Structures are given as structure tokens and as C-alpha cells.
Structure 1
Amino acid sequence: MPDTIPPLSPRPEVLAYFETRRSRPGKTLRAPGPDRDTLAPLLETALRVPDHGKLEPWRLMVLEGAALARLAEVTERLGTAQGRDAEKLAKARAMFADAPLVVAVVANPKASDKIPEVEQTLSVGALCFGLVSVAQAAGWGANWLSGWMATDRAWLTEALQLAPTEWVAGFVVIGTESAVPPERPRPDVAALTEWISE
């Protein structure tokens, strides 16, 4: 006999969390970050995202220690060779050099006659947001970053050895908060919402 699923009950503590959540700037996140035993269940929880067709069009790469130093070097070298703005390049390099831990959420689209790639991309974005939310709910500071490295084929190939069809939907920095971020203006729901009843 199949298991009976109980009806959903209100979870006001979860609503309260989302009503007040906000990303922590990556530059304010410091060591320590979560160790592997701490991070693994957070990743498992974050993977509970909408995934039409169960294609799993994503994968995760946990970047730490010497890997982050290597990525900082690759970023500076390739960015300089490409003539990128020095100030922006310094910020891109610091995203790796100063991070306690980064999870690269890799978009890994699958060939499908039923599920268009745009739906798969939306699933990858949901994973990025889910990982930030789960990490913060566990008491860590977290931020979803990107930058030119996320889609630059030369960087993706050298730095992460990604396949030609893969790219990075987000570099999720996770660590210990060193500063409380100020509140930011929020969208005007009334201005952005249209109610259609017929």
C-alpha cells in the first residue's frame, strides 16, 4: 500500500526566513567555511530543485584551498591577456583568492526532445538560489556570483576543464560573515504584478 502523504502545514519560521533573507557580499565572507562533512548535506538539500524530466542538467564543483589560488592566477593571467579592465579584473581575481570556499554550479544541459535547454537553465538557476538559501539557513554567509569567467570558454577550459557545452551558472561563495550587510531597497510588488481573473 503506498505511503500516505500528510497535507502541508504552514511553516511560519520558513516564511520569516525568506522575508528577511539577503545575500552577503562575497568580499565580507571569511574563513572558516564549512568542511566536507558539514557541506555535503547542504549540497544534498540544495539539489532538491525543480527538474523537469529528471535530467539533472547541472553538477557541482567544490573549490577550496590551493584550487582557489590556482583559479585566481588563471583569472588574472587570462584576463590580462584579453585586455580586461584592471579594476574589474582585480575584483574577479579576489573572488577566488579571498574566498574561504566556492561551489561552482555548472550548467550541464542534456539533449532532450521534450525538455528545452531554457527549462534546464532555469533549473540550474534554481539550484544556485537554493544553495545560497540552504547555506544561510544553516548559519553560513553565502553569495551567488558570476563574472566573465562563468562563460569565457578559454577560462572554463583551462580553469575547470569543462566540456564545450558546459558553463558556470554561479560561483556560490560560502563562509563566515565578517560584517552585517545593510538592507537594500526591495522591488515594488504592486508595480511588478498583474492580476488576471478572466
Structure 2
Amino acid sequence: MPHPDQAAFDFLLTRRSYPAQALKAPVPDRAQLHTILTAASRSPDHGKLEPWRFIVLTRDALQSIADNLPAAGTRIGIPQDKIDKPVMTYADAALAVVVVSSPKESDKVPKIEQTYAAGGVCLGLVNAAQASGFGAAWVSGWFSHDRDFIRDQFGLAAHETVAGIVHIGTGGATPPDRPRPDIDAITDWSGL
């Protein structure tokens, strides 16, 4: 007979992401963040390849991103309003973690499965931060897909991509819930 962990299940049923712009200091200290990253890394990982890595962005790195976004956006033709929003977000941010999808060569595990594993780490990171009492938001943005920007700002190799950028901080009031999926509309029960 299963023994449910009702507190964990209630957390999963009610968790909400905070808007990245709402997350402020205080943020986890290095020891707290180490524990949060450890929890996030307990993600399904077929072949035990660890096809992800973390880049912790503190205040100076976040400001550098904000400072370099306008030139990158102009270079690739992003409209000004789509440049201004992330500039403000990163200029005001206190802490973010880049989850890098870093697939490994494997005859056994396709690269797409390794990409999924990195996505699982992103969700694990959001949940671990929130379970630790902090707010979190998993974001990306046009710049996180620009090869030049992610190479120059994050030092990503040619085979690496950004799976997500998770902002972590203190969020204040719990954000309002949003509409959730209609499970019956997206589930085929014919196999039962």
C-alpha cells in the first residue's frame, strides 16, 4: 500500500512561479543555494550522463547582462520594447541560475532525452527554491537563444544551449493562480 507524503503532494498541487521582476533580496546564500542545486540535480538522467551544468549569476553578472542586452537586441533586430523588458528585469535582479543543456556523446542516450533531463532540472530548481522558502521563476527570452550572446555572456560551448534561467529571491505575497490545464481535455484514458 502506498504511503503518500501529503505535504509534498499539496506543495506540488499549489506551487506557483513568481514573476522574475518580483523577486528581490534576500536571496539564498552560497550554502543554501548549494543545497537547492543538489536537490534540483536529482532529476531523471538516463545513462547518468549529467547533461546539464549551472552558472550562478550574482549582482555584477546580472548587471552585465542588462548592459549588453541592448546591443545584442539591436544586432539581431529585436523591437525596442522586447529589449527594454529584460534589461529592467536583469538590472533589478538579485540572483539567477542559468541551467545549461550540455549533452554528452552517447550511443545509448539520444540528445533529445538529455535535453529533456536539463528541462527537468529547471523544474527541479524552481521547486527546490520554493520548497526552501524562496520564490522562483523559470524564464528564457530571445537572448537566451542567441548563439553570440550565450557564448559571450555565459561562456557556452557550441554544443550547449540555455535550458532556462531561474531567478531566485524573496517574492513577497504569493502570486495569484492562473488557469490550469483541463486534465480531461488533454488526457486519453483509453489505455485503462
Question: Normalization by structure 1: what TM-score?
Answer: 0.93
Alignment of 1:122-133 (within 5 A): 122-133=116-127
Alignment of 1:147-158 (within 5 A): 147-158=141-152
The question of whether the paired residues in 1 share the 8 Å contact of 2:143 and 2:149 is answered with yes
Q: Which residue of 1 aligns with 2:8?
A: 14
CA RMSD of aligned residues (A): 1.4
1:179–1:77: structure 2 CA closer, same or farther, 3 Å change rule? Answer: farther
2:177 corresponds to 1:183: yes
Percent identity of equivalent pairs: 47
- Helix, strand or coil: the match of 1:68? helix
Please identify the structure whose Cα radius of gyration is greater. Answer: 1
Q: Which residue of 1 aligns with 2:166?
A: 172
Q: Which residue of 2 aligns with 1:192?
A: 186
Q: Deviations over 1:56-95 (max 9, x none)?
A: 1000000002111111111122112322111111112223
Q: Distance in 1 between matches of 2:129 and 2:63?
A: 23
Q: Which residue of 2 aligns with 1:94?
A: 88
Gaps of 5+ in 2: none
Q: Distance in 1 between matches of 2:180 and 2:157?
A: 38
Letter of the structure 2 residue corresponding to residue 174 of structure 1 = I
Q: Distance in 1 between matches of 2:38 and 2:177?
A: 30
2:18 corresponds to 1:24: yes
Letter of the structure 1 residue corresponding to residue 40 of structure 2 = A
Following superposition, the deviation at residue 149 of structure 1 comes to 1.7
Q: Deviations over 1:31-75 (max 9, x none)?
A: 121111111111111100000000110000000021111111111
The question of whether the paired residues in 1 share the 8 Å contact of 2:59 and 2:93 is answered with no
Q: Distance in 2 between matches of 1:58 and 1:120?
A: 8
1:100–1:8: structure 2 CA closer, same or farther, 3 Å change rule? Answer: farther
Q: Distance in 2 between matches of 1:138 and 1:34?
A: 9
Letter of the structure 2 residue corresponding to residue 172 of structure 1 = V
Q: Distance in 2 between matches of 1:8 and 1:120?
A: 30
Q: Which residue of 2 aligns with 1:116?
A: 110
Following superposition, the deviation at residue 121 of structure 1 comes to 0.6
Q: Distance in 2 between matches of 1:180 and 1:15?
A: 18
Q: Distance in 1 between matches of 2:155 and 2:138?
A: 21
Following superposition, the deviation at residue 9 of structure 1 comes to 2.7
Q: Which residue of 1 aligns with 2:48?
A: 54
Q: Distance in 2 between matches of 1:111 and 1:74?
A: 32
- Helix, strand or coil: the match of 2:157? coil
Letter of the structure 2 residue corresponding to residue 156 of structure 1 = I
Q: Distance in 2 between matches of 1:17 and 1:180?
A: 13
> Which range moves more in the overlay, 154-163 or 125-134?
154-163
Q: Which of 141, 146, 167 is residue 135 of structure 2 equivalent to?
A: 141
Following superposition, the deviation at residue 176 of structure 1 comes to 0.5
Letter of the structure 2 residue corresponding to residue 165 of structure 1 = H
